[in-house]
Amino acid sequence: MYKALVCCRAGMGSSMLLKIKADQVISENDFPIQTEHGNLDSIIGFNGDLVITMDDLSEELEDQVPYALGIRNIVDKIEMKEKLEAFLEQKEQK
Domains of the chain are 2-93 (3.40.50.2300)
User: In this predicted model, what pLDDT tens digit does every residue of 8-20 receive, in sequence order?
Assistant: 877 678 889 999 9
Q: Using pLDDT thresholds of 50, 70 and 90, give the confidence band for residue 39.
A: confident
Name the DSSP class of 12: S
The one-letter amino acid code at 43 reads I
User: In this predicted model, what pLDDT tens digit does every residue of 43-82 receive, in sequence order?
Assistant: 988 899 999 999 989 988 988 899 999 999 998 999 999 9
Q: Per-residue DSSP letters for 33-80?
A: EEEEEEEGGGGTT--SSEEEEEHHHHHHHTTTSS-EEEESSTT-HHHH
What's the CA gap between 82 and 63, in Å, rounded? 22
